Amino acid sequence: MRILDFLDKDCIELDVKSKTKKEVIEELVEMLVKKGVILDRKTTIDSLMEREELGSTGVGQGIAIPHSKTKGVKELIAAFGVSKAGVDFDALDGEQVNIFFLLLAPEGAAGLMLKALARVSNFLKNKYYRRKILAATDKAAVIQTIEEEEKTKQEPLLFCPGEGPG
Amino acid sequence: MNYSIEQILFIGALLAIAAIFASKISERFGVPALLLFLGIGMLAGSEGPGGIFFENIALSKFVGIIALVFILFYGGLDTRWSSIKSVMKEGIAVATIGVIITAGTLGILIYFFLKLPFMQSLLLGAIISSTDAAAVFSILRSKGISLKGRIRPLLEFDSASNDPMAVFLTMTLIRLMTAKGVSVPSLLPELLLQMGVGFLAGVLGGRLVIFIINKINLYYEGLYPVLVVTMALFIYAGTTYIKGSGFLAVYIAGLVVGNGRMIHKRNIVRFNESIAWFMQIVMFIVLGLLVYPSRLLPVMGQGAVAALLLMFVARPLSIFINLSFSGYTVREKLMISWVGLLGAVPIILATFPLAAGVEGGEMIFNMVFFVVLLSALFQGSTIAFVAKLLKVNAPLSEQRKYPLEFEQMAGIDADLNEVIIPFGSDVAGKRVFELGVPQGCVITMISRGENFIIPNGTTVLEEGDVMLVMAEKEAVKQLEAGVAKQKEAVKGNS
């Protein structure tokens, strides 16, 4: 699975303006709405906020990966945002969050979501790529960074369950 | 007569298989399994159709002790700390002072009613004063019996922990009868020492087992339960060696291990359950073989009197005295008195005077055997009935059929949630069991980079791992909070 399979260039925002968790999520979802991949805006946002209540998806090091399996979408999609100022996202390490990677998958697509999350977290775990993302001045630089990282990943040799939906 | 190895194995296996089939009867008719096992041994014995000659007292005692170790250890493993915490005070009183009162009262009554020599009467009283954990546990856990509130935990705690006291009383009396110059007051500190050392050794031993299991990282998973079993024997023997009560130690160790957090726990508990069953079967068959039914006949009358005195006077008296300031009602106390089931322990103890050559030893052994039979048959098979009579029975639906088979399964609220191990999390580098996964929460899969991992307790977590968790909301929150804790001094660098 490649990140660029579910992240579209149009769904990247390098200048996130929002100042709160709710606003950030709304701003990111809005990009997907414009792209026409969201079936129901409210359901989508509600389910993302519900997930945040179980525990913040701000996983530390200035990264947040808000995600949800929801009726609001019919395929795995993502939105990417960078806030230069940083947002208080209740992150688990208490730091401000700068990089947002929002993931949505259809209800019941647990395997797909699991795979995508691991892929994203594996990418953002690396300090080198985080720095490059923060330094990016245009969307192409972000895409380039992701491509660079994905080249280092070999496709697994064995069949992986969860490639299909659910 | 000498038997070949194949003959011994063939007959032994046949008897054990018969015993396992017989357990089905026990389940259906509420006859204690131990009676059926004993019966099989007696039928196979020299006076039954089997005609096997067996009179090895030393071997019987050896088998009995090993069996007792595993029965007590498993008893501890299978006891939830939370259930006995509420009966701690009463349990300790009944298991110590209670045994002394029962033994003393019974000894004096036997002396007056049966006109036996005084010391022999006391010895008999002491031997049959301890209730049997194997019998009590198997009956209380069988289908068809369910007791209200705090009755069962007290009975289980009592039966599992009163053996050391009975063992001590028996050995003391034997010493008084066989050696000169031993005085009763000098033995009291010894008793306290035995109990104290036994308790401490049990706690430390149990902790040691947990520590080793979690740290040793064995390549072969099958070795974990074996390690625990051998540790149980080690704790028993080691404690006895340093003059503590080995039986108490092994029970306490089981309690500590059973309530601790460790990997492969379910396997370990299951394995010990099987061993406990196996040892029970072996032990009762051996004891059945050992006894000569014809020699029971002459003591039947006296045995019956002793049994009645125990069931209706000595045990109730002891229970009522010990529980006089507890919250138990009269009905509950009567019920507790009635479940004074005897079992293997008295029979094993009865081999002690036999082995020590105490005067009247054989008479005592036969009488004890008969009293145990009566107790198991008469009290054991009427527990459900008496419980109903006293209105202390609980609805049967609360019974778990297989107490160890399933863990509490999450309810319908359970959902699949993804939980990410945060960057810099304190749990990174630790193993799954160290997370303290909340009740009703199952980690079904871990997704890491390109791979899926089916986790077990020893799977080491990494930051950025995504766990697929089946749990209800509260449990997910707990788990989230658990993984959220950051490692010290790693902020801003990974």
| B318 and B428 share one domain | no
**Closest Cα in chain B, distance from residue A36 (Å):** 26
Question: Strand A77-87 relative to strand A58-60: parallel, antiparallel, unpaired?
Answer: unpaired
Which residue is closest to A93 within chain B, CA to CA? Answer: B486
| B293 and B343 share one domain | yes
Question: Strand A7-13 relative to strand A77-87: parallel, antiparallel, unpaired?
Answer: parallel
CB A91 within 8 Å of CB A98:
no
Whichever domain contains A121, its CATH number is: 3.40.930.10
| Full residue range of the structural domain in which residue B439 is found | 415-493
Quick check: pTM over 0.90?
no
Q: At what angle do helices B163-178 and B151-161 cross, to 10 degrees?
A: 30
Is A67 annotated as catalytic? yes
Residues of B with CB under 8 A from a CB of A: 416-425, 445, 447-452, 463-466, 468, 473, 476-477, 479-481, 483-484, 486, 491-494
CB pairs under 8 A between A and B: 97
> What residues have CB less than 8 Å from B101, skipping those under 6 apart?
B314, B317, B318, B321, B322
CA–CA distance, B119 with B108 (Å, rounded to integer): 10
Whichever domain contains B419, its CATH number is: 3.30.70.1450
Find the CB nearest B466 among A56, A114, A153: A114
Does B306 reside within a domain?
Answer: yes
| B369 and B454 share one domain | no
B316-350: per-residue pLDDT in tens? 999 999 998 888 889 999 999 998 888 877 888 88
CA–CA distance, B73 with B230 (Å, rounded to integer): 11
Does A102 reside within a domain?
Answer: yes
Residue that finishes a domain, picked among B395, B429, B461 = B395
The count of domains in chain B is: 2
CB contact under 8 A, B448 and A51: no
Residue A70, Cα to own-chain centre: how many angstroms?
15
CB contact under 8 A, A60 and B420: no
Does A162 reside within a domain?
Answer: no
Does A160 reside within a domain?
Answer: no
| Full residue range of the structural domain in which residue A26 is found | 3-150
Does B47 reside within a domain?
Answer: yes
Does A131 reside within a domain?
Answer: yes
The count of domains in chain A is: 1
| B485 and B386 share one domain | no
| B365 and B460 share one domain | no
CB contact under 8 A, A63 and B423: yes
| B341 and B489 share one domain | no
B257-313: per-residue pLDDT in tens? 988 888 888 888 889 989 988 998 898 888 888 888 888 888 889 999 999 999 999
Which residue is closest to A96 within chain B, CA to CA? Answer: B492
| B333 and B366 share one domain | yes
Residue numbers of chain B with a pLDDT score lower than 70: 1, 27-30, 134, 137-138, 141-145, 180-184, 395-414, 488-494
| B169 and B216 share one domain | yes
B414-446: per-residue pLDDT in tens? 677 888 888 888 888 888 888 878 777 888 888
Which residue is closest to B471 within chain A, CA to CA? Answer: A54
Does A164 reside within a domain?
Answer: no
CB B383 within 8 Å of CB B338:
yes
Which residue is closest to A90 within chain B, CA to CA? Answer: B484
Catalytic one among A27, A31, A47, A67? A67
The DSSP annotation for A71-131 comes to: TT-SS-EEEEEEEEEEE----TTS--EEEEEEEEEETT-HHHHHHHHHHHHHHHT-HHHHH
| B331 and B447 share one domain | no
| B375 and B445 share one domain | no
- The Cα-based distances of B279 to A66, B41, B42, B285, B297 in angstroms read 56, 14, 17, 10, 28
In this structure, the number of other CB atoms found within 10 A of the CB of residue A23 comes to 13
CB contact under 8 A, B486 and A57: no
Does A166 reside within a domain?
Answer: no
* pLDDT tens, per residue, chain A with 166 residues: 888 889 988 899 999 988 899 999 999 999 999 988 888 889 999 999 999 988 889 988 899 999 998 888 888 999 999 998 889 988 878 889 999 999 999 887 888 888 899 999 989 988 889 999 999 889 899 999 998 888 877 554 444 444 444 3
Does A115 reside within a domain?
Answer: yes
What sign does the CA torsion over B290, B291, B294, B295 have? positive
**Closest Cα in chain B, distance from residue A15 (Å):** 22
CB B145 within 8 Å of CB B387:
yes
Tokens of B222: 């099958």
